[in-house]
Chains A and B, each alone.
Chain A
Amino acid sequence: QVQLQESGPGLVKPSETLSLTCTVSGGSISSYYWSWIRQPPGKGLEWIGCIHYSGSTDYDPSLKSRVTISVDTSKNQFSLTLSSVTAADTAVYYCARRSRSGTYYFFDYWGQGTLVTVSS
């Protein structure tokens, strides 16, 4: 059974950089795309971006200038950095596996989520 676990600071100061890591267990990080998705308190889901185990990335254009997603296959981990954060970046951050069936893609495994609060 594949499991994902987010880790990182729960509090980040405004204008600083948010950094999170997702550790994948129960399966290899190879052969899939891996995503970050966030959910502001009481609101809906927002896709941030994804990375292939090979290193190919795809980002939400509205966040692209501030986001970097990287992968470490030796550790079965992938990471998110989001720079110049503001209060609007306060959210629960989820990592998720993007799977495929034919030409259809979907998020089938998710981490439990980690709340990141941006505040001084």
Chain B
Amino acid sequence: DIQMTQSPSSLSASVGDRVTITCRASQTISTFLNWYQQKPGKAPNLLIYAASTLQSGVPSRFSGSGSGTDFTLIISSLQPEDFATYYCQQSLKTPRTFGQGTKVEIK
């Protein structure tokens, strides 16, 4: 299985901050990498697919980059509604594996 490792596991930030979350795959996955946002008690919501393509309707303050084994999700200016847990997920091979999540909390 391809293992996905996110860092940090949690972070505290203020509204307006630039936030960076990283995801590392245990083997190369090209750009077969998706990012999801999950709020408490809710289903995950797709933010980015193919490492850098913004899903329709997702604010442009979210961006993704990377290829191979190292990927980054950036929130350019954190908004109150962005406090949530973020997951990366590889879509190259079965089983489709997720990172353990990064919880973004209010400082």
Contact = CB atoms under 8 A, between A and B. Distances in A.
Interface string B28-55: 0001101010000011111001100101
A104 B32 contact: yes
A62 to B, nearest CB: 8
A44 interface: yes
B98 A107 contact: no
Interface residues of B, number: 25
Given A104-B32, A110-B43, A110-B44, A44 B95 contact: no
Interface stretch (B16-24, B65-73, B74-82, B86-94): B86-94
Nearest to B34: A106
Chain A residues touching B, majority SS: strand
B96 A108 contact: no
B100 interface: yes
B49 A101 contact: yes
Given A101-B53, A107-B44, A108-B46, A45 B87 contact: yes
A107 B89 CA distance: 10
21 contacts: A35-B96, A44-B87, A44-B100, A45-B36, A46-B98, A47-B95, A60-B94, A61-B94, A96-B43, A101-B50, A102-B50, A104-B53, A104-B91, A106-B34, A106-B46, A106-B55, A106-B91, A108-B46, A110-B44, A111-B43, A112-B43
Interface of B: 1, 31-32, 34, 36, 42-46, 49-50, 53, 55, 87, 89, 91, 94-101
